[in-house]
A and B are shown apart, each in its own frame.
Chain A
Amino acid sequence: MSASETPASSWTGRVREAAVEALPPEKLLPDKQPTYVASWIYVFGVASIASLVVIIASGCILALKGPAWWHYTGVGHFFNSIHLWGVELFFFVMVVHLWGKYWMAAWRGGRTRVWITGAIIFLVAVPTALTGYVSQQNFDAQWISTQAKDGLNSVGVGAFFNVTNFGQMYSYHVLLLPAAVVALVVAHVLLVRRHGVVPPFELKDHEASQTSTIAGSDTPISAVQGSGPGSDGAAS
């Protein structure tokens, strides 16, 4: 709402007011994070984004220069390898990010859409990588595409997603799927900004859930809690 509390008359004004209400500047670009974010397990989300930036930058260079360059020149091999290993790193850190968020139940506190957008990013990233493997313009791509077509035909998608059609696969790989991944990542990050980074489980909740499990045991509850992802020691 504007300072005068008068609703905007134009659609642009209404969009602006809704955007500012959902994501005020101090939420959109915070300069402080909660104490519990000071943990290595919280760095894998931004590591995924950093990998994605490297992938897109190296992919742009590969697209500018073309297959003959990336197959037959030293610099082309270098950027081809940067692109490949960027993808390997992207999936590596994204899986660790996924595990971390799963074990801290990151959908808590109204963060369902954060979790769902993250899951969809993972699902969209897989065909983005696949279309890259079949777009290499070499025997490796030919082998992968001829193997993949049987699997895709068996589930009935071969008619409109033909992995042996280089033009179609290249379009998917350099435009459609990366655009989807980037759009989803933007939505994911904005949702994280809106709802905040998910906190670890409260110790008292953890204690209550463990009471029945360790009843009769000599193991102190505090000793059990000290090693969990929701404990203060582990998450900070």
Chain B
Amino acid sequence: MNPASVMGAIFNLNHPAHVVEWHFIQLSVANIVAIGLMILVFVLAIVLPFPGAARRRSGTSS
């Protein structure tokens, strides 16, 4: 089995999109995943230390 077939088996797009409905809100699962990833990246960007940030704060950088 070639890699393209493996990917095709994992990400089978040959069907209508899965959709989550809640009252008037209708979101595809793909969009929900994208929104979830954006929230995750946003939180990580705030929480994770930036390389060299502590050194800059202490004023030892040039």
User: In chain A, what residue has the closest Cβ to B47?
Assistant: A234
Interface residue tally for chain A (C-beta within 8 Å): 17
Tell me the bound Cα distance from A41 to B45 in angstroms.
5
Q: Say whether B38 contacts A236, CB under 8 Å.
A: no
Whether B38 pairs with A38 at a CB distance below 8 angstroms is: no
Question: In chain A, residues 193-236, which have Cβ atoms closer than 8 Å to a Cβ of chain B?
Answer: 229, 232, 234, 236
From residue 12 to 50 of chain B, which have CB atoms closer than 8 A to chain A? Answer: 34, 37-38, 41-42, 44-48, 50
User: Contacts A38-B50, A39-B50, A92-B37: A236 and B45 contacting too (C-beta < 8 A)?
Assistant: no
> Are the CB atoms of A96 and B41 closer together than 8 Å?
yes
Residues of B contacting A158 with CB < 8 Å? none
Nearest CB of A to B24, in Å? 16
User: Could you list which residues of chain B lie within 8 angstroms of chain A, going by C-beta atoms?
Assistant: 34, 37-38, 41-42, 44-48, 50, 52-53, 56-57
Other 6 A-B pairs with CB < 8 A, given A40-B45, A43-B45: A39-B53, A40-B50, A99-B38, A100-B45, A234-B46, A236-B53
